Amino acid sequence: MNRPYIICHMVTSLDGKVTGDFLFTHECAGATEIYYEINRKLRCDGFICGRVTMEGSFTGGYYPDLSEYEPVRHDLDLKMDYMLDDMTGFYAIAFDPKGRLGWKSNKIIDPDAVPGYDGAQIIEVLTEQVDERYLGYLESMEIPYIFAGKDEIDIDFALFKLKNIIGCDTLLLEGGSIINGFFQRADVIDELSLVTAPIVADKGGKPLFMNGTLSNYELVKSEIIKGNIVVNYKRKR
């Protein structure tokens, strides 16, 4: 396979939603704990999240003053990727088409929070929509970036690069709904790992896959852990 194996790992409500206040309720706390435990056990090469999730979980809306950075210009419209010499470790891969995430370090710094993410090497996946000064900022922070697409991130191309340039064999896809939908429509989700909490989401919650399409999965494993349903499915091809 010329791309990483993708495991979409998510907490859902009983009605299949993945966003909203239900995630922060007492009823969902057990599911979240199980989710992080599975996350650590899966031992993948990294995790992928959409820009909104990365902002909510890690950058908190910080954004650098781009006027302080030199633009990185590319000849002949050929957008060059930027890598570090030492690229081994666990990766935090941000699908950030316009370069809207402001990082304060090139690694996730989250020592007091959930174990498993702290120290992950950040990688930005961008499109040609990005401000060239943002590239200057990323390079000054030693944050690797890859280009995949003009307006929208081309999922197949991004995964091809993550496998062949960075060497990722297995990656977690950890939401939210919009990025999961992009991956599902591109038919690159090989496995689903879901922890369903015993709660129904409030109105406005987004589904596991935003704008999903028909596709079959085969149940591989199911368990009930402390009142939560923990299931694992593989894509039926």
Ligand X SMILES: NC(=O)c1ccc[n+]([C@@H]2O[C@H](COP(=O)([O-])OP(=O)(O)OC[C@H]3O[C@@H](n4cnc5c(N)ncnc54)[C@H](OP(=O)(O)O)[C@@H]3O)[C@@H](O)[C@H]2O)c1
- In the complex, the residues that contact ligand X under the rule CB under 6 A are 10-11, 18-19, 23, 49-53, 56, 95, 97-98, 100, 152-153, 155, 174-179, 182, 206, 210
Structure tokens at 22: 């239900």
H or E element, residue 140: helix 132-140
**53 versus 121: smaller Cβ distance to ligand X:** 53
CB of 182 to ligand X, least distance (A): 4
235 contact partners, CB below 8 Å, separation of at least 6: 187, 189, 190, 191, 215, 216, 217, 218
Where do the DSSP E strands lie in 13-168? 46-50, 91-95, 121-126, 145-147
In the complex, least distance from residue 98 CB atom to ligand X, rounded to whole angstroms: 5
Of 70 and 150, which has the nearer Cβ to ligand X? 150
Comparison of 34 and 166: residue with beta carbon closer to ligand X? 34
Residue with nearest beta carbon to ligand X: 176
Q: Which is nearer to ligand X, 70 or 115 (CB)?
A: 115
User: What is the greatest pairwise CA distance in the chain?
Assistant: 58
The whole-angstrom distance between residue 56's C-alpha and the CA centroid of its chain comes to 12
CB of 77 to ligand X, least distance (A): 19
**Smallest separation (angstroms) from ligand X to the CB of 106:** 20
- CB nearer ligand X, residue 28 or residue 166: 28
Comparison of 166 and 172: residue with beta carbon closer to ligand X: 172
Q: How far is the CB of 53 from ligand X (least distance, A)?
A: 3
Q: Give the strands of the sheet with 170-173, arranged side by side.
A: 145-147, 121-126, 91-95, 46-50, 170-173, 5-12, 191-196, 228-235, 217-225
CB 37 → ligand X: shortest distance, Å? 13
CA pair distance 224, 227, nearest whole angstrom: 6
Distance CA 183, CA 191 (A): 12
